[in-house]
Structure 1
Amino acid sequence: MNVSLRTPIASDFVAIASWIPDAAAGLRWAGPRLPFPFAASDLSVLLAVPGGGEASYSLIDDSSKPCGFGQHWVLRPGAVHLGRIIVAPDARGCGLGRVLCQQLISAALHATSETAVTLRAYRDNTVAVRLYSTLGFIEVAEESTDDVLFMKMLANNSFHGAAFGSP
Structure 2
Amino acid sequence: MEATLRIPQKADYETIASWVVDERACARWAGPLVPFPFTPESLPELLEVDICSSYCLSDNNNECVGFGQFWATDHGVVHIGRIIISPEFRGMGAGRLLCERLIDKALRSTGAHKVTLRVYRDNKVARSLYASLGFFVVEAKSTGDLLFMCARTNKTPKVDA
Indicate whether the TM-score tops 0.5.
Answer: yes
SS state at 1:107 partner: helix
How many residues align structurally? 155
* CA distance in structure 2 between the aligned counterparts of 1:75 and 1:126, rounded to whole angstroms: 25
* CA distance in structure 1 between the aligned counterparts of 2:32 and 2:139, rounded to whole angstroms: 23
Q: Is residue 2:4 matched to residue 1:4? A: yes
Higher relative contact order (CA 8 A, sep 6+): 1
Same amino acid, percent of matched pairs: 49
Partner residue of 2:154 out of 137, 153, 156: 156
Unaligned runs of 5+ in 2: 156-161
Structure 1 residues 101-156: Cα deviation after superposition (integer angstroms, max 9, x where no partner): 00000000000001100000001000000000010000111001121100000012
- What is the aligned partner in structure 2 of residue 135 from structure 1? 133
| TM-score, structure 2 as length reference | 0.94
Q: CA RMSD in A?
A: 0.8
* CA distance in structure 2 between the aligned counterparts of 1:78 and 1:150, rounded to whole angstroms: 17
- What is the aligned partner in structure 2 of residue 55 from structure 1? 53
* CA distance in structure 1 between the aligned counterparts of 2:74 and 2:22, rounded to whole angstroms: 31
The alpha carbon displacement at 1:15 in A equals 0.1
The alpha carbon displacement at 1:77 in A equals 1.9
SS state at 1:74 partner: strand
Q: Is residue 2:34 matched to residue 1:34? A: yes
- What is the aligned partner in structure 2 of residue 115 from structure 1? 113
Amino acid of the residue matched to residue 24 of structure 1?
R
| TM-score, structure 1 as length reference | 0.91
Amino acid of the residue matched to residue 46 of structure 2?
L
- What is the aligned partner in structure 2 of residue 20 from structure 1? 20
The alpha carbon displacement at 1:75 in A equals 1.6
Amino acid of the residue matched to residue 11 of structure 2?
S
- What is the aligned partner in structure 2 of residue 69 from structure 1? 67
* CA distance in structure 2 between the aligned counterparts of 1:140 and 1:32, rounded to whole angstroms: 22
Amino acid of the residue matched to residue 28 of structure 2?
R
SS state at 1:56 partner: strand
